[in-house]
Amino acid sequence: MALKHVNAVIVGAGAGGGVVAKELSAAGLSVALLERGRWYSAADCRKDDLCNQRTQVLGAKFGPDDERNPRVAVDGKGRETVVVASDGAYSNNAACVGGGTFSYGAMAWRYMEKDFRMRSTYGAVAGSTLEDWPIDYFDLEPYYEKAEWEMGVSGDVSNNIFKAPRRKPLPMPPLPPNREYRILSPAAKRLGLHPFDIPMLRNTVPYNGRRSCMRCRWCVGFACEVNARNGTHNTVIPEALATGNCELRTDCMTREILLDARGRATGVAYFDANGRLQEQTADLAIVCGGAVESARLLLNTKHRLFPNGLGNRYDWVGRNLQSHTYPAAIGLFEQEVYDDLGPGAGIAICDYNHGNPGLAGGAMLANEFIRLPYQFLSAVPAGVPQWGPEHKNFVRNAYRRTISIMGPVQEMPVFDARVQADPKVKDYWGIPVARLSGGKHPHTLEIAGFAAAKAEAWLKEAGAIRTWKRLPGASLSGGQHQAGTCRMGNDPKTSVVNKDCQLHEVDNVYVIDASVHVTNGGFNPALTILANAYRASGNLLKAWKGSKARS
Amino acid sequence: MPNQKPSLKRRTFLSAGLAAAAGGAAISCGGGGTGEGWRFFTAEEARTVDAICERIIPADRDPGAHAAGVVNYIDIQLAKRFKKHQAAYRKGVAGVDAVSRARFGKRFAELPPDQQTQALTEVGAKSGAFFNLVLNHAMQGFYGDPRHGGNRNMASWRMLGLPLPPVRGRQHYDDPKAG
Ligand SMILES: Cc1cc2nc3c(=O)[nH]c(=O)nc-3n(C[C@H](O)[C@H](O)[C@H](O)COP(=O)(O)OP(=O)(O)OC[C@H]3O[C@@H](n4cnc5c(N)ncnc54)[C@H](O)[C@@H]3O)c2cc1C
Ligand code: SF4
């Protein structure tokens, strides 16, 4: 039986897709929201430190499953491997209702003005496709505010003298400082830096009918047991459903966008929870699958007019895959600094995001989320033997006495860091899988080295008796902060969507997720994805002239 | 002392494996199982892996990998999540015993600790991939959640001074105003 025609079919119920579903359904459009993963609840928090969304040695708890969703990873030497979601090279984010926002750490950053004008600020960088966004900070500002107030953000950025202008403060106060915060804050001030409370999509007081954070040990990567962390799964998606205009279908894997003879979209084809192929017709097809899967879906949509994939006439789909390069410094202290108060991260500085001599950008620096014992092992410095009595002794002595500071370096986009549809390997449903190749730009690694040194200096000032750095390698950047694969721009020859997130090639197909980011800021990206989704939905609704379908 | 009373050690060891197997009744037996309570390992392999893990995380004033049942974690996972590593273990464990015999004339589990360390160092140099695999799995089994078969009695968490049993949160104790 044919499915009822809808105004908009949205692929992916993550950060971008959740917001679009709510904005469109609230405006009266009929919406089908397709999500390949399941809908987990707060009760699915099993505090499993080996199987969650951050530590995936026993699987990616919130999807996708290892069995049905392979990818191909090509390393720096051109070697191809078939990888599963729990492998590092897979570049996983998540697959569930809420997407990454279901289990994220919930840092809720606004990018800075210069983050939208990287090319004008720093000029061309050889070997990079560094470019300005076609919109600026002020185009997004009202929507940052909307995301902060509708979804709920806590924190206090008033001491951040580098922040971009904003009209309203955050709706909720920050959590009381933990022990790390109390050590790091005066040290930063002594160094002339400007520490402040990280904005977080986390309730610190009851908000939106849900309670506040209880400061547990299992935050980032886990479900929030008390539903105090705000993702699209407990904010905009339930609101979309409450309008009566939006139907959410889980366990539904979209295969391709359906196109008519003239190349306009008529809907999507997807496999439902029972593995049956379904066709959902729609006036608009809105792709919100995250940077890897959105690019894959466009590339897997083939048509006489689009032989190399939809939106890909100039070979920009899947290009410029970027994320964040994370350098870190770790400090060992004489006294105990661990106080078992989640979420752990709380203090940040933006002193090194821009204006660093000789560098095109920089990174925000913050203390790390609470570390579970197994996660802590990656903080053991190189000089300590990897096993045996000394290793054990080090872990025992250092676990409660270390602070880690890290930051998301804004990456220099690389044209050859890319997603393709693999010519051979197919997933469980027979759909060509994503093939990932390329690596980081050398300047990104230079900035990472700089940021790690600044983090180390901060720890030293805070009284660390020993410090060491953790520097990232040159391999491809993707994963949780993946972005950039369907660049937004004014020129159809060097971008995939226009500034309204509409494909240059087909006016009723949109991409609204991290894929459209031209550059990814020196900050975690979720709030920008959410804000841009509010903005793009608003522009879409302004242009909406009603259904063209004959009923 | 382990090598002074091998038979006793072996018995306690096997019963530990059996107890854990009973606890995880939902898990089916792996194909390579020997009917001695192990899902994948033979009893001899289990002894070797147990001894390797104990060298990686030795007992000192706190329990080591043996007391924490780390080999049990690895055995369970080899029959489930780590099926793809079965061949590597079968070959790798035999390799460790071969190195031990060639160098010291005995199986790995029968060597005194310092010779075990020497043998393992040699294995690490010769077959790094296998050594790293066991190293990672041993760390997971020791520091990870006990629900997966290792970290018995939360040995590592006690060692690190994590409040036990894991409390739900803190704010409702520390801050009476919390909603
Ligand atoms: C553990 C973790 C911690 C994080 N911490 C932070 C943080 O502190 N701050 C921050 O800003 N960001 C954080 N992030 C990143 C953030 O979650 C992502 O940037 C964000 O979710 C990306 O949004 P998106 O809309 O692009 O894609 P997603 O949120 O990934 O949504 C895409 C959705 O589409 C679905 N989908 C894809 N393809 C298909 C298909 N073919 N058919 C049907 N459905 C499909 C996917 O299953 C997924 O649910 C974190 C992420 C993780 C996993
Ligand atoms: S630390 Fe707070 S927000 Fe995070 S999971 Fe625990 S209760 Fe939820």
ipTM of the complex in this document? 0.94
**Residue B35 pLDDT grade (very low, low, confident, very high; cuts 50, 70, 90):** low
Instruction: Please state the rounded mean pLDDT for residues A510-538.
Output: 98
Ligand 2 center from residue A217 Cα (angstroms): 8
Residue B16 domain flag: no
- Predicted confidence at residue A549, as pLDDT, reads 66
Reported as a single tens digit per residue, the pLDDT across A266-295 is 999 999 999 999 999 999 999 999 999 999
- Please indicate whether residue A408, judged by its CB atom, sits closer than 6 Å to ligand 1: no
- Please indicate whether residue A484, judged by its CB atom, sits closer than 6 Å to ligand 1: no
The pair of structure tokens assigned to A313 is: 């006439």
Atom of ligand 2 nearest to the CA of A202: 3
pTM above 0.90, yes or no: yes
Residue B11 domain flag: no
Picking from A45-54, A244-253, A316-325, B76-85, which range would have the lowest pLDDT averaged per residue? A45-54
- Predicted confidence at residue A44, as pLDDT, reads 81
Domain A6-545 CATH superfamily: FAD/NAD(P)-binding domain (3.50.50.60)
- Predicted confidence at residue A415, as pLDDT, reads 98
Contact A342 B81 (CB under 8 A): no
- Predicted confidence at residue B6, as pLDDT, reads 36
Q: What is the mean pLDDT of chain A?
A: 97
Q: Name the residue of chain A whose CA is nearest to B78's CA.
A: A58
Picking from A125-134, A536-545, B20-29, B95-104, which range would have the lowest pLDDT averaged per residue? B20-29
- pLDDT of B28 over the 50 cut: no
Q: Name the residue of chain A whose CA is nearest to B82's CA.
A: A58
Would you call A115 helix, strand, or coil by DSSP?
helix
- Predicted confidence at residue A42, as pLDDT, reads 80
- pLDDT of A46 over the 90 cut: no
Ligand 1 center from residue A293 Cα (angstroms): 10
Reported as a single tens digit per residue, the pLDDT across A460-470 is 999 999 999 99
Which residues span the domain enclosing B115? 27-157
Instruction: Concatenate the DSSP letters of all residues of A344-394 into one string.
Output: ---EEE-TTSS--TT-S----EEEPPP--HHHHGGGS-TTS-SSSHHHHHH
**Rounded-to-integer distance, Cα A295 and Cα A300, Å:** 9
Helix axes B43-56, B6-23, angle to 10 degrees: 100
As a whole-number percent, the residues of chain A with pLDDT over 90 amount to 96
* Closest by CA position to A496, among listed A513, A479, A472, A474: A513
- pLDDT of B2 over the 70 cut: no
Residue B171 domain flag: no
Instruction: Please state the rounded mean pLDDT for residues A329-351.
Output: 96
- Predicted confidence at residue A1, as pLDDT, reads 64
Would you call A249 helix, strand, or coil by DSSP?
strand
As a whole-number percent, the residues of chain A with pLDDT over 70 amount to 99
Residue B18 domain flag: no
What are the sequence ranges of the domains in chain A? 6-545
**Residue B127 pLDDT grade (very low, low, confident, very high; cuts 50, 70, 90):** confident
- Predicted confidence at residue B14, as pLDDT, reads 37
Q: How many domains does chain B have?
A: 1
Residue B61 domain flag: yes
Helix axes A179-190, A442-461, angle to 10 degrees: 100
